[in-house]
Every structure is written in structure tokens, then in C-alpha cells.
Homo-oligomer: A and B are copies of this chain.
Amino acid sequence: MATVRRTPLNRDRVLRAAVALADEVGVAGLSMRRLAQQLGVVPMALYKHVADKEELLDGMVDVVIGEFDTPGPGLDWRDGVRARVLSARRAVLRHPWARQAIESRTRRTPTVLAYMNSVAGVLLDGGLSADLTHHVLHALGNRIWGFSPELFDEPRDENAPPPTPEQQQAMAAELSQRYPHILAIAMAATEGDLSRVGPGCDEEFEFRFALDLLLDGAERLRRGGWTSTAADPIATLRD
């Protein structure tokens, strides 16, 4: 009997299936065994296509980077960086696990290098010295991958019931006693309505704010002919 032969696996199909699976169940729920099951294959079959789980994750990150789009030239260098980085951000938002995956990766694959090279190119073309470009890339840090590094968000439990007024009252009392400064911030962020503390911060705004703060600081340094070898390299910033 003509048992239909499955079209054979290959590295690309494995990676794309892994991305899809992670989109569903998160990076914590992604296991070699589960991925194999999803592909209708025995776990060890995967190892014909990726060396180990580390390499699988590297490959998955490469897939996400492949979704970044490269805006054409002709932009102010700051707009060029913004465009790249905000595109990265959109890709990372489509794959919520990507942030954690990127943070945990340490290998720099050719894809990763190519992306860094492209961002660096925008800075250099914009007139930043190689020196300044280097340090600005460091300053941007993970932001070039489209997410801010923070410990502030996330612990939001969607299924939790909204706080009752009494709970709000209690929280405000607790905050004002032990963490008055955090209370001040929360009040400002919610315009005094602590019940709106639920939705949390506007990540998009925070991301752009920090990005622009850094890019505009860099632009000021560029104009000032900044160099890292000066005695107080950052002094140019101080007026």
C-alpha cells in the first residue's frame, strides 16, 4: 500500500513551527518534545536539524529579526533609527516570547550581526563618529530590539478581578505610608484615579520617550563633536 510519505522536515520548517508554538504557549511551554509532537515526529528527529535547544532558540530569534523591515534611505539619521527600532518593536509585539528569548541569547548569529550592522550604518551615515556610534549603541542597549528593559510591567494578571474601592483605599494607604514616592507617580500617571492603575503604563509612550531621550542626547553630542577620549567625555552635555 502506498503510505504517503510526509514531506521531510528541514531546519526552516522546524524553526517556523517553533515560532508558531511559542506564539501559542510562550517560551516556557516550548519543549523539544512538544515541538516534535506538533510536527508529528519523535523528539529526537529534531536533532537532525538543530544541534540542541540553544541553537533552536537562536534560530527562532533569527526568524523574528527576519521580520524587521529596513526602511529606505533618505531619512534623518534619528528617523532612520526610529523607523528600524519601531519596526523591531512591532515584530517583538507580535511574538511576545521574543523579548525573553532575545534577552537570554548570547550567541551572535550572522542575522544578529547583520541587524546591528544596519543600525550602526544609519548612525555612521548620519555623521556620528565610529566612537560615538559605538557608545550610543551601548546606550540604546536592548532598545534596538524593540523593547525596553524593565521590571515595572508584566505582573498584571488579566484574570484577576478589578480591585474593589476598599482595596483601592487600602492600597493607597499602604503606598502612602511605605512608598509615598511611588504613590506620587501612580497618582500622576492615572491623573489621580487610582482605579486606573490596572491597565498599567503606556509602554509605547515609555518606549518612544526613552528612545528619543537617547537619540536627541546623541544628536547633541554629535553637534558638539563629542569624543570619548576627552577628560570628562560627557561634559559636552552639561551646559
Contact = CB atoms under 8 A, between A and B. Distances in A.
A7 interface: no
A173 interface: no
A129 B182 contact: no
Interface stretch (A14-22, A85-93, A159-167, A214-222): A214-222
Nearest to A233: B209
Contacts of A96: none
Given A114-B179, A130-B185, A216 B217 contact: yes
Nearest to A119: B181
B237 A216 contact: yes
Nearest to A201: B138
Nearest to A131: B188
Nearest to A234: B212
A113 B182 contact: yes
Interface in A128-162: 129-131, 133-135, 137-139, 141-143, 145, 148-152, 154-155
Given A107-B155, A139-B209, 14 more contacts: A113-B178, A113-B179, A124-B184, A131-B189, A133-B188, A137-B152, A138-B210, A141-B149, A141-B150, A209-B228, A209-B233, A214-B214, A216-B238, A217-B217
Interface centre among A108, A118, A135 (most CB of B within 10 A): A135
> What 9 pairs between A and B have smallest CB-CB spacing?
A130-B188, A139-B210, A149-B149, A120-B181, A142-B149, A138-B206, A216-B237, A117-B179, A141-B149
Contacts of A206: 135, 138-139
